[in-house]
Amino acid sequence: MIADLLYVLGVAGMFLILIAPHEAGHFLVAKLFKVRVLEFSIGAGTRLWSMTRNGTLYAVRLLPILGYVRMGGMEAGDFNEPNGFHSKPPLQRIAILAGGPIANFIVAIMLITGFGLTQLNSDPGKVLAVLPNTPAAQAGLQVGDHIRTVDGKPVNSPENIQQAEVAAEGNPVVVTGVHADGRPFTLQVQPVCQKGACQMGVGIARITTPLTAVQEGVSFPFQAVQVIFQGLGSLVSGQVKGGLFGPSGLTGPIGIAAITIDSVNQGPPTYIWLVALLSVALGVTNLLPLLALDGGRIVVVVVEWLRRRPFDRNTELNFQRWGLAVLLALAAVISFLDIQRWASGQFSGLH
């Protein structure tokens, strides 16, 4: 029962962390440029809560998988509203459209940075993990121990321990340090060598300072974009079995929920990393130059700017609606595949 509740909270929380900041990004930039915002809604379906303030309806709806910001000047018969979206200069409209994806990137940075700040460590020999049935476990090393020397050489960085394991070439090494309760220890550990790699079976915590935590957070979106496009390239090129629509192919809300449940089982670090990655993926996806996405709307604004005259708004609106219909149809197909994958146990999970 408790596990099921954690799964529900984990999935709902993940969607809220993705959707709410995205819509808030659009909303805040629109307000900054004094665009009339009719509604700011988080979620879809039945309204659970709402309030109206300064002409804007704020609402929370039942299903947390969607959200939207409805601005003046974007509906038929309303295009010429003085404080509407289309009345603003091109750069302001682009900023409003890009506000959502940029918010997703900022959320990813905050998640990775925040988690890094909870893992601050200045001890180069702190034992983070001891693998079962390994020489380290048999010798008595424990999580929380602090390794000070290996074969008489001081440990000034986690790499020193790895270097000592390799240099031993399978021979016993003398490890000294202090247990988590303050008791000193001197242990003899014989690393196991396989395929040229020698290991005792310990995981050493990285040196993490506030500066490195921030650096890792800021660099994460760039690394995540690279991972996302490498993954897409592997799917398109057939390097991944089944391609785009195979067991490891494109996935929608159902598949994301399944992967999120898997991450909940693996613990907070995996869950936080997954949500940060999905936040970047949502931002990147919305910047694609496709109709009904933020990127497609940005392309329309840029083309109008270059040609120095607007498109016919009714025609543009119809094209955007057709684009949305195509995206919803694709989402329906992917959801159907997700249900099949889930029912047949094809989801590969996180690794």
Q: Which long-range contacts (CB under 8 A, 24 or more apart) does 127-134 make?
A: 127/202, 127/203, 127/204, 127/205, 128/203, 128/204, 128/205, 129/202, 129/203, 130/201, 130/202, 130/203, 131/201, 131/202, 131/203, 134/192, 134/199, 134/200, 134/201, 134/202
Q: Which residue's structure tokens are 């295009």?
A: 79
Q: Where are the domains of the chain?
A: 2-118+252-343, 127-204
Q: How far apart are CA 140 and CA 190, in angstroms?
A: 12
CATH code of domain 127-204: 2.30.42.10
Could you tell me if 170 and 196 are in contact, meaning their C-beta atoms sit under 8 angstroms apart? no
Q: With H, G, I as helix, E, B as strand and everything else as coil, classify residue 129.
A: strand
Question: CB burial class (10 A; 0-12, 13-18, 19+) of residue 17?
Answer: buried
pLDDT at 351: 47
2-32 helix and 268-286 helix, angle to the nearest 10 degrees: 40
Single out the residue of 284, 304, 306 nearest to residue 295, CA to CA.
Answer: 284
- pLDDT tens series, the chain, 351 aa: 777 788 888 988 999 999 999 999 999 999 999 999 999 999 888 999 999 999 999 999 988 888 999 999 888 888 888 899 999 999 999 999 999 999 999 999 999 999 999 999 999 999 988 999 999 999 999 999 999 999 899 999 888 888 888 888 878 999 999 998 999 999 999 888 887 788 898 989 889 999 999 999 999 999 999 988 888 887 777 676 766 666 666 777 888 888 888 888 888 989 999 999 999 999 999 999 998 899 999 999 999 999 999 988 999 889 889 988 988 888 888 888 888 777 776 665 554
Q: How far apart are CA 65 and CA 253, in angstroms?
A: 7
Segment holding 219, helix H or strand E = helix 210-237
- DSSP for residue 121: B
pLDDT at 236: 72
CA end-to-end span of the chain, whole Å?
26
Could you tell me if 93 and 85 are in contact, meaning their C-beta atoms sit under 8 angstroms apart? yes
Q: How far apart are CA 304 and CA 316, in angstroms?
A: 11
Question: CB burial class (10 A; 0-12, 13-18, 19+) of residue 35?
Answer: buried
In this structure, how many other beta carbons lie within 10 angstroms of the beta carbon of residue 74? 20
pLDDT at 59: 95
Q: How far apart are CA 271 and CA 261, in angstroms?
A: 9
Give the pTM. 0.87
253-266 helix and 2-32 helix, angle to the nearest 10 degrees: 120
